[in-house]
Structure 1
Amino acid sequence: MVKRNEKHAIIVAGGAGVRMGGEIPKQFLPIGGLPVLMHTLIKFNAYDPTINLILVLPESQFKYWKDLCKKHSFKVSHRLVKGGSSRFNSVKNGLNNIAEEDGLVAIHDGVRPFVSEKVIQLSFAEASLHGSAIAVIPLKDSIRKVDTNGISQYKNRDAFRLVQTPQTFLLKKIKAAFLSDEEPFFTDDATVYENMGWEVHLIAGNQENIKLTTPEDLSFANYLLESKTN
């Protein structure tokens, strides 16, 4: 197991929030009186107040974020890092801003504020043993594979998982993986890791750990927060 001061978390929040239908990027929209992103940072800080938190944002959003932190008296310690032209490059920038070579790093979507502390803890524990720990959940609905001609075929949902974040890794290995050139099939950090020939280790995520993308998601997020306080 690694020491406390060898734990890092890269929170990636580079989205423009187009599907939300507003001018404010989705990571800054309020739920429960605070911007989404603050809820996410609070979760990781609550798990371990000594964790090295890195927030990756487009540089054009730095001042807006700092103004929000001042407005809400937000005191969770974190470091701002400039985002890249893609999620891959944003994560790479975050990794390059970690001077250490040893330890563990969790990579998490900034707009997943409902990750449980239990999942965060499990991800670090399992990654220290297996090199990686990817949060996933089982499918609830039936699924069908559709080909280019529109012909569909039943698939057994028990053979599939929905992938979430955090995706946690041994720092040295994920740094090495991100030295690769970006590929179209790099849909998440696990695929970058897997591209090195290393096996991805799965852990149980939590169902409410949704990625806030649409206005309906935001309404559900407010409902979740209200249900936790009532």
Structure 2
Amino acid sequence: MNQSEAASPPNPKGPVTARYAIIVAGGSGTRMGADRPKQFLALAGEPVLLHTLRRFADPALGISELVVVLPAGQLETWQALCAQYAVQIPHALVVGGATRWASVRAGLTHLADQEGGVVAVHDGVRPLTPRAVIEATYQAAHNHGAAVAAVVPKDSVRNLSQQGSYALNRARLRLVQTPQCFSLALLRRAYQLPELSTFTDDASVVEDLHPIQLVEGDYRNLKITTAEDLYVAEALLRSEVSL
């Protein structure tokens, strides 16, 4: 190790570059059996999306700009909820597209005037992401260009084949979460490519251009998809408050 390496702190305590966040919320709530999109459902008395936004508005993260991407037909609902709950968190509201890919691209377009930095893309219905996971993912993207939060599967996993199924090595598998953080320039370059059906998340858009660094996620960082997820999120929030 040379002298300059020895002098460098291993874990910088503040933002080392400009940080942005694109929160994508385009769900319909169909699988929830709800009368409204899942990002607007009440979680501990407030909309799910507000909980998510609050996680990224934490001043300790040093995020310069928050962008919320919603379908055109949901903007007025969100604006009304912001008024109802007196939301004071500064954020830009952007109209999304027909797919998640198109919505992320719309969020990037809003950041067109920014020259550099690291951008996080996050699911609007992941309202419990620990600050440590967000910070670690931003930092890893600063160091490596692209980073994704992920966890080891808890259950055994099998792959289907024409002959039946076979077990996979769980230790070599990861369940991908968000945030997914990237150099802003890299993510822009990736989203200039045509949309493909194989794109399931932002990492799949970027991976042909750049290796993806994995960051340890958190099992509490659940994505609210079903009614059961909402019950679990309520319990987790209560446990946070009691700590």
What TM-score bracket applies, with the shorter chain setting the length? over 0.9
Q: What is the letter of the counterpart of residue 180 of structure 1?
A: L
Q: Paired residue for 2:172, among 159, 179, 182?
A: 159
C-alpha RMSD over aligned residues: 1.6
Structure 2 runs not aligned, ≥5 long: 1-11
Q: Paired residue for 1:170, among 157, 169, 183?
A: 183
Answer whether contact 1:133 1:202 (CA < 8 A) is retained: yes
Distance (Å, rounded) in 1 between the aligned partners of 2:15 and 2:218: 26
Q: What is the letter of the counterpart of residue 115 of structure 1?
A: T
What corresponds to 2:4 in structure 1?
none
Q: CA deviation at 1:22?
A: 1.2
What corresponds to 2:9 in structure 1?
none
Q: Paired residue for 2:148, among 123, 134, 153?
A: 134
Change (3 A) 1:28 1:56: same
Q: CA deviation at 1:3?
A: 5.7
What corresponds to 1:68 in structure 2?
81
What corresponds to 1:19 in structure 2?
31
1:34-183 alignment runs, 5 A limit: 34-46=46-58, 47-48=60-61, 50-98=63-111, 99-147=113-161, 149=162, 151-183=164-196
Classify the secondary structure of the residue corresponding to 2:57.
Answer: helix
The alignment's TM-score, normalised by the length of structure 2, stands at 0.90
Change (3 A) 1:50 1:128: closer
Q: What is the letter of the counterpart of residue 77 of structure 2?
A: Y
Distance (Å, rounded) in 2 between the aligned partners of 1:5 and 1:143: 39
Q: CA deviation at 1:155?
A: 1.1
Q: CA deviation at 1:51?
A: 2.6
Classify the secondary structure of the residue corresponding to 1:223.
Answer: helix
Answer whether contact 2:17 2:142 (CA < 8 A) is retained: no
Classify the secondary structure of the residue corresponding to 2:31.
Answer: helix
The alignment's TM-score, normalised by the length of structure 1, stands at 0.95
Distance (Å, rounded) in 1 between the aligned partners of 2:49 and 2:179: 15
CA deviation digits over 1:6-41, x for unaligned, max 9?
A: 210000001111100012100000111110000000
What corresponds to 1:220 in structure 2?
232
Structure 1 runs not aligned, ≥5 long: none
Change (3 A) 1:82 1:5: farther
Answer whether contact 1:134 1:203 (CA < 8 A) is retained: yes
Percent identical: 43
Q: CA deviation at 1:49?
A: 5.7
CA deviation digits over 1:50-94, x for unaligned, max 9?
A: 530000000111111010000000111100000101000000000
What corresponds to 1:209 in structure 2?
221
CA deviation digits over 1:156-207, x for unaligned, max 9?
A: 11110000000000000110000010111111000101022x1111110111
Classify the secondary structure of the residue corresponding to 1:108.
Answer: strand
Classify the secondary structure of the residue corresponding to 1:20.
Answer: coil
